[in-house]
Structure formats: structure tokens, C-alpha cells
Structure 1
Amino acid sequence: MTTASLSTNGLWAGLRHLWRDQRVWLASALILAVLLVFDPTQAADSALFAGDALVNTAPFLILSIGIAAWAGATGADNLIAKAFTGAPLMMIALGALAGGISPFCSCGVIPLIAALLAMGVPLSAVMAFWLASPIMDPSMFVLTAGVLNLEFAVAKTLAAVGLGLFGGVVVHLMARSGALSNPLREGIGNGGCGGSKIRVPKPVVWRFWDEPERRAKFGKTAFTTTLFLAKWLTLAFLLESLMLAWIPAETVTAALGGTGLMPIAMATLVGVPAYLNGYAALPLVGGLIDQGMAPGAGLAFLVAGGVTSIPAAMAVWALARPQVFALYIGLSLTGAFATGLLFQFWVMA
């Protein structure tokens, strides 16, 4: 083989290695580069949108990353894992309830999810928390009651807990048959080998900063988790900015208008690509209801959009194996449609 051939092969190998390790950052850079050539204004808008979104979610992300790193450094993760060794249905109920009232956003909860799964917490309880968390939090409850009404806020809270319970039970039944034993991707926590098996608890060292090894573990966990989230959320927010720019709210309004069963089904499906952040979606849903849309369709849109928003879904995809991601999306859509129907029946009763 000639020297030129060796150099070419080495170059391609290097490029493949670069793409494999940095493909998410490269995809974000490529999007901005293409926009810069064909639509410089949108390139600037998308960059600013992504930056603002990252800044706005930073408090939740920093808190959740810190908790995950602290749990690993102190050994408290073993205590948490042990706490989830009780009755499965009780753990599912606690996970759904905690998710329904937690203050974490759909992206900020991802480090906690990864930590819980790596600790050995059963996927059923984690899924209950995972599904319920993006839908409702205390500030969202107050804002929903103000923009829409108290009845809608209560219904959305019950939908969050109900979806968590539903998803947790489904996963529990599947797990009993031996499915979903390794939910995390390789290289994520203990993904691929023992990631869903309860560990033997070890003593907790609360003053972890006194031990160099534990300090190093805290720093490494925080750093790697931050990089993981930063690259995926940057790409997700760039895509979100483009969808907001290229899919006008009027298009969403036209698709979701009307009453009956079909608008609820449409609202569930449209909620996935529309993916408006929960706060921004409230005025849109309020306007649609004022124009005659069924309240059940509005709730289905909020639930589906909250759980399957682009940033949250991409984070789930990066974290979990494809079958877990598919289950997450399937449970989200099924649950959103069911809660929309139930709320519509309640309103009409």
C-alpha cells in the first residue's frame, strides 16, 4: 500500500472518529453554517434562541446535575436505590406523584433519570417519574390556573400523575416478562450491564470533599453530564427555533380547531412536532378554546407536547436504548389521548 493510500485511510479513519465522538456538535455547527449561507437573519435568531433557552434552563440543569453528582460522590445513590426495593406498585405511585409536583423541567430532570437508572432503581418507577415530571410543576400550576382556569390546572396535574401511573404499570408488566432489563445506552451510567440491577448498599460518606477520590468522582460526573446535556440541548433548541420560525402558530390553530373526537386525536399528534414549551403553549391553547376548540383537545395538546418536546425527546434518545425511547413516546401519546378524552367527558358531564 502506498504512502498516499495510508495517509488517505488515516484521514478517513480520523474523520470517522471525529464524527462518532462529536457528531452532535458537528450537526449543530452544520445547521448554523447552512443558515448563515442561505438565511443569515435566521442563523442569528436561532443562535440567540438556543443561547437564551440554555440560560433559562440552566438553574434546573445545574441543580439536577449537582444532585446526581453529589449522590454518586457520597454514595447516597445506594440509599436511594435501596429505597426503591419495596413493593413495585408503591414505588410507581411515589414516582408518579413526585414527578407531578417536582420543579424540574423536562430537560433538567434527565441527569436525575440517568442517575436513578444507574443506581439500580427499577425502570417502572423511573418511567413513572419521567413521564409525569415534564407536564406539571408548582409554577406551571399557578400559570395554568391564571391563563386558563383552576379546573384545567387541576386536570393537568391529575393527567401528569395519571400518565406516570399508567406508564409505570405498563413498564412493570413488561419487565416481569424479562423485557427492558438494560434500559441505558452503553457508556451511560452502568448502561448495558447491570444498569437496572439493585446494588448492595455501601456506607454513605456525606463529607465527600474530604476524600480526593470522591471529589474527583463528583467533578467527573458533573463535567461529563454537563457536556452530554449541552451538546444535545443545543441541537434540540436549534431545531426548536427553526420549527417555531417555519411552522406558524396559525397552522397549529387551523389543525386543532373544532370539537369532537378527531380534534383530540389531532391535538395529540400535533403536540409532538409543535412541541411548544409548556408556558408558551398556554396562551395558544387558551385562544384555541376561545375559538371553539374542545377543552379535551387542549389538554391532550399540552400533555403530548410537554412529554415529547424536541429537547426532552432528544435527551431521552441520547440516554436510553431505542426500545425504551419508543416505549416512552408510545406511552406519552396514548396517555395524552386518554387524558384528553376523560377531561372532555368530565367537562360535558
Structure 2
Amino acid sequence: MIDRPLIAPPDLLVRGRWLKRIDGVVLACVAVVAALTMVSPIQAIESIRFTFDNLVEIAPFLLLSVGFAALAAATGADALIGRAFTGSPRAMIAVAALAGALSPFCSCGVIPLIAALLAMGIPLSAVMAFWLASPVMDPSMFLLTSGVLGVDFAVAKTLAAIGLGLFGGLTVHLLARGRHLGDPLRDGVGNGGCGGARVRTPRPVVWRFWSEPERRKRFWRESGKNGLFLLRWLTLAFLLESVMLAWVPADLITDMLGGTGIMPVVTATLLGVPAYLNGYAALPLVGGLVGQGMSPGAGLAFLVAGGVTSVPAALAVWALVRPPVFGLYLALALTGSLASGLLFQLWSTL
């Protein structure tokens, strides 16, 4: 009788280490594509193409944001950025909400910038104001919304974006003393604690960071770490979005959002989470629904909630921040979306 070795063979050890190194997000992406291939090969190809196109479209923002964070880490410019956000918290929140409504970021595209800001210790209240307002409106969205739904609707959506940012930022400011909001980023995502320390104890900024080997290494290390992290999660988010675009039936949404009163607004707010198309593709759908009798308030609530709290966006947020901050983000987004829809519906009836 031959005793079994107490130590696994080398090939098994290597295989075990390889399996442990496989990232869960990458596995999820592969699983989604594999499931689509078995159910609908054509849709699998379309989803891959959709994901690739969106990643290419968002690549400039992704590269700029990742480079911005890496540059700040390599040069020590965190202190400068921190000083730029000093002053009255309410003023910072107001500026962030306005800037968010005018920025060209989508719900997933704003994630890299948010990661950079939080990692450098920028107050969560100001970041939340920008975070909530940014996906709702931008200049090109305003023009397209005006053409599809009218100028009044476009103005209302812009005001909803700013109002949502103000509401979220001020609420976080009031709750900022809670211990769960002190370090919003998850472990391994940026370095909020050290970033905050660098802002509190500024050191000289070295703009010519490439002249020092250690700073060069830090730049490339931070770029690779943040870039791979965001690329993995954005890939999964766009894959899920493509599935929603293909398989969420428009007739179902029409049936559930028809009619007038408060309930359609409530239903539209809740449906904005799973039934999100994207900011531009959703406009014709909402225009058709409004033409069939859906209240404008329900349409606005659907667009605002869909842009901010959709599953792809929420998935990226979940990967970025701790659970208490994620829960607060969803609560603020849903409450603000519902309030925006109800206020617009009330204004439409006057």
C-alpha cells in the first residue's frame, strides 16, 4: 500500500493558485457571454459589440480620469486639489451640483472621476452632489431632450439634476458625522485614508515627477491598478446594459407606466432601476409613453431614476464604495427622483 502524499503535486498547486487568481468580475463577464451564446448567439455578438463600442466611447474619459488620479499621486498634487475644495461646505455642494449637471459624464463614465476624488480625500458631500447630478443631464442631452420631449421637459430635467445633487450633498453633509461615512471607499480602491492625510498635511508638489524614478513607478503603478479595476467593472456593467436593451419589453413598461396620479410616478421611479436603457435611447420611449397618456412627471422620474440608479451604474458604485455609502446613494437617488417627478407633475397641472 502506497501512502498518499500529504502535499499536493506541483501541477495541482499551480492550478490551485491559478484558480485563486481568477477575478470574480472577469468570471462574471465570461459567464454572461457564455449564457448569451447558449441562449442567443446573435445577441452574444451584439452584446460584445455594444460593450466594445461603449468602452471605446468612454475611453477618453477613462484615460483622463485614471491619468488624473495617477498624476495627483505621483506629484503629490493632492494637497492642491484639497485646497481647491476648501471653504464653505454648502458652497462646495452647490458648485458640485451645478458642475455635475453640466458635465458630459454618464452614470458609469463618472465612476473613474468619483474614484479619483474620493481617493484624494475630497468631502463625500461635495462628491455625492456631483455624483448624483452628473448622469442626469449634459449639454448634448439637453438639446436632444428639447427636440424629443420639448424645452419645458429639458429644463425640468436640468433642474432635477441640480436639485438632486443639492439634496444629496446637503443630506450627506448633515450625516457626515456618522462613522460609516468617514472612509467611503472600499479597501483596495484608491486610498481614501492616505489621500485624506496628504490633504491634511500637504507636502511640496513635484510637477516634474518623471525626473524621480520612484515617482515614475508610482504613476504607472497607480495607473495600472485603477485602470484595470475600472475596466473590469465597466465591462460587466455594459454587458448587463446590453441585455436590458435587448430583452426588456417596451410593452411591459407601457402597461405599468400608463395613467395619471401619484402611483405612475412611484412606479416609474422603481422601474427606472431595472428597466434602464440609456439616457439617449430612453428619450424616444418616454416620448411615446407621454404621447399615449403617461404623465410627464412619471416620464421625468423614469429618466432621472434610470440614469442614476440603474443596475449597471449601481453595480459600478457597489464596487467602489462601502455598503453604507452605497445604501445612502440609492436612497438619495430614488427619493430625489420621486420628488422630481412629483414636482414636475404638479407643475404640469397648474
Query: Do they superpose with TM above 0.5?
Result: yes
1:66-105 deviation digits (Å, cap 9, x = unpaired): 3222333332222111222322212111211111111222
Shift of 1:231: 0.9
Shift of 1:13: 5.0
CA separation of 1:315/1:55 partners in 2, compared to 1, >3 Å: closer, same or farther? same
Shift of 1:194: 5.1
Distance 2:15 2:216 in 1: 39
Shift of 1:5: 6.5
Partner of 1:32: 33
Partner of 2:207: 206
User: Relative to structure 2, which stretch is displaced further, 275-284 or 5-14?
Assistant: 5-14
1:293-328 deviation digits (Å, cap 9, x = unpaired): 111111101100001133321111111011111111
Amino acid at match of 2:239: L
Give the conservation status (yes or no) of the 8 Å contact 2:78–2:120: yes
Shift of 1:266: 0.5
> Structure 1: any 5+ residue segments left out of the alignment?
none
CA separation of 1:196/1:204 partners in 2, compared to 1, >3 Å: closer, same or farther? closer
Partner of 1:340: 341
Give the conservation status (yes or no) of the 8 Å contact 2:180–2:324: no
1:185-215 deviation digits (Å, cap 9, x = unpaired): 0011114x45656432222233333333333
Shift of 1:40: 1.8
1:103-136 deviation digits (Å, cap 9, x = unpaired): 2222222122112112111111111111111111
**Identity over aligned residues, as a percent?**
64
Shift of 1:4: 6.8
Partner of 2:102: 101
Partner of 1:307: 308
Distance 1:332 1:58 in 2: 26
Amino acid at match of 1:154: V
Distance 1:215 1:5 in 2: 42
Amino acid at match of 2:259: G
In the alignment of these two chains, the number of paired residues is 346
Amino acid at match of 2:40: D
Out of 13, 17, 28, which is 1:14 matched to? 17
2:22 is aligned with 1:56: no
Give the conservation status (yes or no) of the 8 Å contact 2:244–2:277: no
Partner of 1:174: 175
Amino acid at match of 1:316: V
Distance 1:212 1:60 in 2: 27
Distance 2:17 2:226 in 1: 25
Partner of 2:89: 88
User: Relative to structure 2, which stretch is displaced further, 238-247 or 150-159?
Assistant: 238-247
Shift of 1:262: 0.6
Give the conservation status (yes or no) of the 8 Å contact 2:190–2:226: no
Amino acid at match of 1:90: A
Partner of 2:119: 118
Partner of 2:217: 216
Partner of 2:326: 325
User: Relative to structure 2, which stretch is displaced further, 177-186 or 298-307?
Assistant: 177-186
CA separation of 1:190/1:346 partners in 2, compared to 1, >3 Å: closer, same or farther? same
User: TM-score by structure 1 length?
Assistant: 0.92
Matches for 1:66-77 after TM superposition, within 5 Å: 66-77=67-78
Give the conservation status (yes or no) of the 8 Å contact 2:133–2:161: yes
RMSD: 2.1
Shift of 1:176: 2.4
Partner of 1:263: 264
Distance 1:16 1:169 in 2: 45
Give the conservation status (yes or no) of the 8 Å contact 2:75–2:205: yes
Matches for 1:242-253 after TM superposition, within 5 Å: 242-253=243-254
Distance 2:285 2:208 in 1: 48
Distance 1:59 1:313 in 2: 22
Distance 2:194 2:177 in 1: 16
Give the conservation status (yes or no) of the 8 Å contact 1:144–1:282: yes
Give the conservation status (yes or no) of the 8 Å contact 1:46–1:238: yes
Distance 2:144 2:114 in 1: 26
Secondary structure of 1:105's counterpart equals coil
Shift of 1:15: 6.0
Partner of 2:133: 132
Amino acid at match of 1:341: L
Amino acid at match of 1:17: K
